[in-house]
Amino acid sequence: MRINKFLAECGVASRRAADEMIRSGRVSVNGKKMTEPGYDVVVENDAVCVDGRRVKPVSHYTYLMIYKPKGCICSRSDELGRKTIYDYVKLEKKLDCVGRLDYDSEGLLLLTNDGELLHRLTHPSYEIPKTYVIKIEGGITEDELKAWRKGLKLDDGTVTAPAQVSLLGTEDKLCRLEVTIREGKNREIRRMAEALGKNVVFLKRTALGELKLGGLGRGASRFLTAKEVSYLKKLTKD
């Protein structure tokens, strides 16, 4: 088994994050530092360590949905002393975020120690739909909505994939929109709005595929059902 996949199955990190750990010299196999992500591990025999501690495949996976509140980050700790989502999750198990939401955003996040599923859910090739409800200042024209649906050129010159965008209503000089995207660019929704000269004042992720936030309160969490886990695995099946 490739070492990055092995580390993912140990719940250490996603495959991409594992590759970086390997390249930075944090991983050893049988006492020898490993810097080649393509190395094959003999699961039954090899002793794999990360930062000097041996790791083994997870025997039981945990899948958690949390309603991330605005005003916290998705990291385990913060040098600025800000709250993290882990302040709301009282579990001893090491769970990693499936994707992220920025400090000023809220809504659905998944946490798991299933590194393989995490890798698939966040890999761009699977094009997992993510749905958001946002509020922007001012109005929006039908031409601007059409441009958003077609794809927008961002500040770094990249062009976004087509999105589903619908106007839900207007209130207090704000427009309320529902946006579904299949990419995972950093702060993509906000940057798409900025490309149209719009300022997002509220952003909430409401769904990942058909998995919905539902009536979960801010900061609250729940375990996924077996049916929901099965759905996510089918969604990312090769």
Which active-site residues does the annotation give? 102
Which whole-number Å values give the CA distances from 219 to 64, 65, 74, 134, 194, in the listed order? 12, 10, 13, 19, 28
Rounded CA-CA distance 129/25 in Å is 35
Question: What dihedral do alpha carbons 187, 235, 216, 109 form, nearest 10°?
Answer: -30
Rounded CA-CA distance 56/63 in Å is 19
Residue 131 gets the label, from left (phi > 0), alpha (psi -120 to 50) or beta, of beta
Question: What dihedral do alpha carbons 128, 134, 139, 140 form, nearest 10°?
Answer: 0
